[in-house]
Structure 1
């Protein structure tokens, strides 16, 4: 059940792979000759009213001189656009991203756009700059520490992009995220409502906004329900393969062991359940286990996992809509922050139907 499902509908843009237009000259070549920013050249080639008629004609003349129209797709850049959106992520096969990708793909296709995916790698050429050089119209990015400098570059270049899933550059970038703090809060309140007094939390370190906010929701729910917030009940996981088994052992070795475990993701919850079963600990009769994200695995696992739905499909769809509104000029001004409210999904792993659970 731990096998990661493959995403079949993704089209990848490799670091050394040519864009479908096979262009020899780029927007940067035009920008250098015209003494303009790449963003200004892009607007001029799209006949944007933000650029003067004189400058637009100058840019188009340079584009023609550079043979900046090697085929029909490239020629469309001068009049319209490539109708291609780029998606930059850290791990394309993550089940956490499957619903988000589907939302992106379906909304982009509905709006007449093709989607290319380029995973972040350790190569010298960044995924973001590769996409920009290949003339995509806009970018949808899952921000990480590896993309921070590139996002700064996009902001300075006025290149259209939207961040998703994680909050970064609050006052400078559009993003679409889930209310992670509320999701964690609701889950812990649910467990407290079932009668659990000691609720453990197995999580990744607070290395990005998602896990930081889930930490905050966990602690706030404990306080609001008059429960102990003890460091011995928090277990950090950096590598699931090695750390989850160790954390389960530590959890079970506690003199006053918890009766419920909240984890920061469904894959982690599934691993915890498996580890407990191997030690003849019943879930949920002995220890309740819950997750986060509501990936497909959570419904299929035994027992089905109580989790938090972050509405990944909606996150992907709204990311595309927001990006296209920026690209068209329909939305201007201050950054737009879309916060999607999560939903508690109660299944068997929390023990809600057991006789000892409160109604």
Structure 2
């Protein structure tokens, strides 16, 4: 198989009998080049299937108009929605994104940052992996003058802008709701990793118990990776206790879904025997039986604000060293998995009743 050499601006220049610099200016819409020349250059470039060398262009003018986005995994609804929000803002100002996955692997995350730096991206937006405890790779980007903005999973070890949800408040609201529904023995699924989001959700759980005078029970807090199978394993562990919990608050919707499967397989009623609440408002949560109460992380909004902060930061050199922390207020989405008794007449209660009626089968 013969590989054709890559078309360059010199090939276009030869076809039109003009200089390479004229072609370059025409492709960059330089006002010094006539419209007729621009049209001729674009026509030949299309015929030859010319692909611009973004790295070379970035070396010349210092801008690639490409940003790198690092997420733990792109197949999670939360992260894909955040990326969508970022792209909506980026595309409006003619920026493209490169989406990379770390798979919560530290070495992969380090390699990804190096690859993005070598690609001459104009900046990096990242959500830190669960297993990352050393941040030298991100510091390397900052030392090179590459703007860095973190979202969701962040760290105070880096003086960069951060956009997060109030994980503490979201967890507190969820546990408070379970208590108001009459639950007094509430289990919590959390992560053993030193990730801020899970630490804050655990803190919200603990404070809600304390504020309502409910004693803490160590056997009710179970650590795992919070995936579906982890939720199943954690619920099976709880079923072996002498005294069962009457509610479970999981720091992820997947963990709550695994618990729901095990409870139904063992003929427990949800929420009458065990109420369930998750965190993230993944799309499947409204289709479970019963629909799952969860905390909405406002993912698209987070993505848009992250992009706005990022582009504001790179707009001027002075702002590159500025850092700010934006904390979004989460929303508790109340569904049938926790509704053990009528709710008080509050906006949240009226929302819950609306959800309840919406989920009823038509007569």
Under TM normalisation by the shorter chain, which class is it?
0.7 to 0.9
Aligned to 2:123: 138
* 2:83 aligned to which of 89, 101, 118: 101
**Structure 1, unpaired ranges of 5+:** 1-19, 23-69
TM-score (norm 1): 0.74
Aligned to 1:195: 182
1:294 is aligned to 2:291: no
1:303 is paired with a residue of what secondary structure? coil
**Cα offset, 1:252, TM superposition:** 1.8
**Cα offset, 1:149, TM superposition:** 2.1
Aligned to 1:35: none
**Cα offset, 1:101, TM superposition:** 1.6
**Cα offset, 1:80, TM superposition:** 6.2
**Cα offset, 1:332, TM superposition:** 4.8
Inter-partner Cα distance in structure 2 for 1:124 and 1:283: 40
1:128 is aligned to 2:116: no
Inter-partner Cα distance in structure 1 for 2:93 and 2:181: 45
Aligned to 1:164: 151
1:338 is aligned to 2:326: yes
Inter-partner Cα distance in structure 1 for 2:54 and 2:240: 63
**Structure 1 residues 139, 81: closer, same or farther in 2, change over 3 A?**
same
Aligned to 2:42: none
2:222 is paired with a residue of what secondary structure? strand
Inter-partner Cα distance in structure 1 for 2:325 and 2:101: 24
Structure with the bigger RCO (C-alpha within 8 Å, sep 6+) is 1
**Cα offset, 1:182, TM superposition:** 0.8
**Cα offset, 1:256, TM superposition:** 2.3
Would the aligned equivalents of 1:194 and 1:358 in 2 still touch at CA under 8 Å?
no
| Number of corresponding residues | 291
TM-score (norm 2): 0.74
What are the equivalent positions in structure 2 for 1:240-259 lying under 5 Å apart?
240=227, 242-259=229-246
**Structure 1 residues 206, 189: closer, same or farther in 2, change over 3 A?**
farther
**Cα offset, 1:358, TM superposition:** 6.6
1:349 is paired with a residue of what secondary structure? helix
CA-atom RMSD in angstroms: 2.6
**Structure 1 residues 263, 134: closer, same or farther in 2, change over 3 A?**
same
